[in-house]
Structure 1
Amino acid sequence: MDLQITNKTAFISGSTKGIGFATALGLAKEGVKVWLNGRSEMSVDAAKARLLAAVPDASVSGIAADLSTAAGCNAVVNALPAVDILVNNLGIFEPKPFEAIPDEDWFRFFETNVMSGVRLSRHYLPLMKQQNWGRIIFVSSESAIQIPEEMIHYGMTKTAQIALARGLAESTKGTAVTVNTVLPGPSRSEGVETFVQQIADQQGMTFGEMEREFFNNIRPSSLIQRFATPEEDANMIVYLCGVGAAATNGAALRVDGGVVRAAL
């Protein structure tokens, strides 16, 4: 499918690895001018090299900025005043019992997972409406629907992203701008892979054994009974960026492997 977005400009937050990088790679293959983001110049440069190795003729740039802060978001919009596509992918997670989550963690998760998208969208959305074309996508999680007991603060921010995206979509009525949310399920990103491997090592298990244990006991409702790959998640995000997805607006689309037991 030709997504008809060649030469469009996209900024993907938190895109030096995982779903963010897979999304940047997918967009680059469609001829999109991609802007990567990470917290350090080293991580951004490494991601640029990886992407160019895969797509040698790609147009790829990078901005090192901590988007959990207003200053970091300002640095991005100053360096890149306008985009056609904004993917709010940045997110952090951390298993922790509710009683052990201090105020500082609640604010840190909200600033990173929610306010980064608020600040970037606040700048770019009006410009998209002025040019009468644009795509904003929030990368949420199935944890927005089934709040995990071990990560309530994380789940709260993922639910907030859905509400934010739907509200922003309402403001695009009658335009060719869309705002949607994608809800990946358990995915084998670098962060998750490292976390699962550490637990597996502690328990004297292989990654595969730990994966089976996870889906047997923690996410037994999964229909695929495995971690999705970042590329599988990114496929949905990249599709939503295309011209052919123009009729999808204000939607929350699951790529959760069937974890959420619901038809809609």
Structure 2
Amino acid sequence: MTMLQSVTSPIEMSVDDDGIAILTLNRPEARNAISDDMRSLLIERLEEIASDPAIRALVVTGTGKGFCAGGDIKGMEKRMSAPAGEVAFNGWRRQQRVHHAVSLLMNLPKPTIAAVNGAATGLGCDMALSCDFVVSSQQATFAMSYIARGLIPDGGGLYVLPRRVGLTKAKELIFTGRTVQPEEGLAIGMVDRVVPHEDLLAESTNWAKELSRGSATALGLSKSILSNSFELTQGQVLAMGSQAQGICYTSSEHQASVAAFLAAKAKRG
């Protein structure tokens, strides 16, 4: 496994021999809370992963006891201390960066897995749910804790949580901000797998390899349609599928697969 970031970086990145990228949130002293600098680095890394054809899937995890404690409290303090006439616009600009990062994660044209090693609260919970799949350590917890700070979920939770657990359960979790244990998360669809803590990264990377074995072209196009299918009509999904299939017809993966099938058939006689 080749390290692409130094161990002192707030976000470490590595890529293994199977093309599985691992992004590790690395501010354990702050339970991996997302600072402005960390958010900018996250955006850079996600853009890099999206554009690198050698990377086939992404696993996101954290160091220390927490997965991600959400937004950095020091950043909140700085935001509130700005002149009254600048608070709203500064907040709006910050939201654009948050949404850019989350959108990159949601729309990455490759399978994504959150390997949740500890508490995922607020923005941390949003980030986990923005991945295609959530693998939870038995030591992890989840909480839409925004309400405790007088805030609404601003990292995609208002969009992704109802799609995972249903509207009524999403309202309950957001209105109360209560903590969800792994087994409850699994039962309600917030979590996809629960594994022993010591097996978390191995289980997650192995699943990422399984999910990314197929055609990268077909995977990326399928994901782009599936992720928006709840907002589309049947006709729109079929039309987008037709366009995507037209691209797949021209892909090297499809042509190689058909050629291999025909060669094997000819050999069998």
TM-score by length of 2: 0.31
TM-score by length of 1: 0.31
Larger helix share, 1 or 2 = 2
Q: Which has the higher contact order (CA 8 A, sep 6+)?
A: 1
